[in-house]
Structure 1
Amino acid sequence: MTDSARAPRAPRATRASRTARAIHRRRDLMRRLHRLHRHIRRWLRAYVSPLGWATLALAIMLWVTFGCFGWHELLAAAIVCTVMLLAALVMSLGNTAFDATISVSQLRVSINDEVNVQVDVRNPGSAPTASARADLPMGDMHERFNIPMLGSHQSKHTSVSFKAVTRAVLPVGPLMIRKGDPFGLMRHEHKLAQRVTVFIHPDIVILDRLHAGIPRDLEGNPSGDIVDDDLDFYGLREYEPGDDVRNVHWLSSAKTRTLMIRQFEATRRTDTSITCDVNPDDYPDSRAFELAVSVHASLGVQALREGRPLYMNAGSTHVKPANPTQFLDQCSAIEPDFQDERNLVRGALMFTPDASFYAITVGAFKPLDDIRHMVMALPAAATCLVVQVAPGAPRALHVFPEFTLATVGSLDDLPPVMGALR
């Protein structure tokens, strides 16, 4: 009974397996056809431009039309198009197996610094190469130069210089080698060398010290200062006139028969959160925006120089840089963003809820009521400094119960303003 019940199942299983294999073969064939179609399309686009395809179609149409009507004008036009295509084909052929390297004098520069880019193109093979054109992109700029025919293991050295005029993260390369005709019908091109990134840092000023946001905290960082009153026990010393007798360590005093005073190492919590407003609506122009980035960068560099744990917030960027160089690289990439969160404190608290010092840089068009509203969410024990940049305005300092508002009209106003916060 069991065998007879199982017997009909074998054909169904066989048909199902054949169907599955057929589906698998069909899918594999479709993938191969799609891959072949992609390679053919890429090859056609790589060597023949849209203008070249249009010229080829026009030549075919002219030859067919001439065969039908016999007009000599059509024959002349067909010959011209054909000659142009043949000349483009001949001029696009040739050995372009170059090797290239790109080197930059400095990967990190400041505004108005000179950057030198060295490009070395060489022929690594034994056969001579054909002449070609080289295109080196540098951000939005393109440096174009000719590469002559190079013999075996010959090279061509090209030097390009430019001035860093604005803060940016500037990609240099990769080098594009082009071999083609002057009509733009056909071309043979490929990329050489790797892209090099140049960081143009914003202008900054050196501050004396950040005198805010250093409350005593047992979970803070050791400062190295030895004091007589703190939370972290350090050691003992002999009693001196004027010492607080409440700090006498009586057990050690009994053993040494000398009054011994407890000493402590000062621990301070200096977690610093700095936020830059990147919404263009809060700034009158791009110059004011760049001033805000410079103020933001100056505060961050000083915090890192003091060894403070720093958290940077700028638009959708929230990072904890390890050193000033890494921080300035992030500042070079700050871009205006109309979608930036209007309540800047919300993003700062999301990533740094326990900071002891919050520094927020905003534009001149940021209303005071909006600033008051957003700082209300900060912890009561934290210190908040809001720096409002207004190019040309006199520097000023206003102290409110929840925060301190500093107004700077230029980057040089920042050191005296920060010095007044002692």
Structure 2
Amino acid sequence: MLTPLGRGTAAVSAVLYAAGWWLGYPEPAMLAVAGLVAVAGAVLWTLPRPRLEVDREIAPLKVGRGEPAVGVLHVTNAGRAGVRGLTAHDAAGAAEVAVDIPRLRPRGRRTVTYRLPTGRRGEIPVGPLRLVRADPLRLARRVREYGSPQTLLVRPRTVPLALLPSGRAHHLEGPTSDRSPAGTATFHALREYVVGDEMRHIHWKSSARTGTLMVRRLVDASLPTTTVVLEARPEAWADPDDFELAVDAAASVAAGAAAANFPVRILTGGGPVAETRGGPDDLEVLLDRLTAVAMAEGPSSTVDVVRRVRAGGSLVVVASGGADLGRIAAVRGRFDRVVVLRVRPGEAASAPPGVHLVDFGDLDGLASAWNTLGRAAGRGR
């Protein structure tokens, strides 16, 4: 079909031809004929339908905010004639990425890559992929869609944070089926039997149903939980970028605890976001759940959420500079450690007794302050 430039060229050529014929001047008519010939040639250029085999991949499918992700496009010319003038257009959320494909020889194959936008957290729909074939003058083009849309998961960005000492005697071996203290071992999941497992842990009903010996995986219920409460009310965040930094901070704290195989609980005023019990897949679950967190009016304030949190373990509140430190401090007796992370506060504040206050303006600042807090906590034990 004709592009806007092609339609304009055809219209102007028709007007020039009519004016030249009416006024008796051959020059405008010659220009008009040249323009019409160019438009007709452009249509004939794009009229053949090339036989193309197209495959698009996204690598990787999950990235942290701001980390690189690329589309990898493989285009094969299955026809007997060469193909040129191809441009790939791939939608990525609200943006569109365009990349030129070099000339394809008969039976030839080309691979091109292009960057996908990862500056915003969330599920980014990628596609549909469109291949546009245009003439050299861009007067006409043919558009075809290939494949189906895919989803790029842009998760929160994280920095390594160590697990803070709890300050009380807990069983620090991590989840295990053999070393859980008596009275604290609880059922978590089923897994296949391996040599060395105790026969008393075999789940006979599941084994009979599956035809494979299955054993109960037990966890130590006394492991201290890291509870992360994230302020998500819109009125608390004047700048959306501050909220994105708060989500990154919450993800970093949760990832640090999950990496040590400790239980993690994440909440906002709208309710629970994720809860894990300490396992190898916890980190993926936490980051995936935090990907979908957005600012929203919740039925409860952050302080109300803190008051209802189950006691024990560490409490980490991620809030703006206007956090009510006094009301948060009122629950300090229910937790081993209470930490408030304030994102880019406008002014300094003193931490109430029993509360550790960390102000930060970026993730690097958070990591530095967190490590300092961990060393101080270790010396105070």
Same-fold call, TM > 0.5? yes
| C-alpha displacement of 1:86 | 1.2
Cα distance change on mapping 1:76 and 1:61 into 2, 3 Å: same
**SS across alignment from 1:96:** coil
Letter of the structure 2 residue corresponding to residue 345 of structure 1: T
**SS across alignment from 1:326:** helix
Residue pairs, 1:249-268, within 5 angstroms? 267-268=221-222
**1:128 alignment partner in structure 2:** 81
Alignment equivalent of 1:408, drawn from 338, 359, 362? 359
Query: What is the distance in 1 between the residues matched to 2:326 and 2:152?
Result: 40
**SS across alignment from 2:73:** strand
**1:304 alignment partner in structure 2:** 258
Cα distance change on mapping 1:266 and 1:89 into 2, 3 Å: closer
Query: What is the distance in 2 between the residues matched to 1:159 and 1:361?
Result: 38
Contact preservation (8 Å) 1:106, 1:115: yes
Contact preservation (8 Å) 2:270, 2:299: no
**1:226 alignment partner in structure 2:** 181
**SS across alignment from 1:398:** coil
Residue pairs, 1:15-30, within 5 angstroms? none
Cα distance change on mapping 1:116 and 1:81 into 2, 3 Å: closer
| C-alpha displacement of 1:329 | 3.6
Contact preservation (8 Å) 1:214, 1:270: no
Long gaps (5+) in structure 2: 171-175, 187-218
Cα distance change on mapping 1:132 and 1:100 into 2, 3 Å: same
Contact preservation (8 Å) 1:114, 1:161: yes
Contact preservation (8 Å) 1:343, 1:374: no
Query: What is the distance in 2 between the residues matched to 1:59 and 1:382?
Result: 80
Query: What is the distance in 2 between the residues matched to 1:295 and 1:379?
Result: 21
Q: Deviations over 1:240-259 (max 9, x none)?
A: xxxxxxxxxxxxxxxxxxxx
**1:149 alignment partner in structure 2:** 104
**1:345 alignment partner in structure 2:** 302
Alignment equivalent of 1:91, drawn from 17, 22, 45? 45
**1:360 alignment partner in structure 2:** 317
Percentage of pairs with the same residue: 15
| C-alpha displacement of 1:119 | 2.6
Cα distance change on mapping 1:117 and 1:180 into 2, 3 Å: closer
**Larger % of helix: which?**
1
| C-alpha displacement of 1:361 | 0.7
Q: How many pairs are equivalent? A: 325
Letter of the structure 1 residue corresponding to residue 302 of structure 2: V
Query: What is the distance in 1 between the residues matched to 2:88 and 2:349?
Result: 48
Query: What is the distance in 2 between the residues matched to 1:314 and 1:326?
Result: 20
Alignment equivalent of 2:228, drawn from 254, 274, 287? 274
Long gaps (5+) in structure 1: 1-46, 216-220, 234-264
| C-alpha displacement of 1:380 | 9.2
Residues 1:102 and 2:56 are matched in the alignment? yes
**SS across alignment from 1:362:** strand
**2:2 alignment partner in structure 1:** 48
**SS across alignment from 1:151:** coil
Cα distance change on mapping 1:167 and 1:418 into 2, 3 Å: farther
Contact preservation (8 Å) 2:89, 2:130: yes
**2:160 alignment partner in structure 1:** 205
**1:248 alignment partner in structure 2:** none
**2:344 alignment partner in structure 1:** 390
Cα distance change on mapping 1:186 and 1:162 into 2, 3 Å: closer
Cα distance change on mapping 1:287 and 1:199 into 2, 3 Å: closer
Q: Deviations over 1:283-305 (max 9, x none)?
A: 68677555423321122223434
Query: What is the distance in 1 between the residues matched to 2:267 and 2:89?
Result: 34
**1:16 alignment partner in structure 2:** none
**1:328 alignment partner in structure 2:** 287
**2:140 alignment partner in structure 1:** 186
**SS across alignment from 2:181:** strand
Contact preservation (8 Å) 1:207, 1:298: no
Contact preservation (8 Å) 2:18, 2:29: no
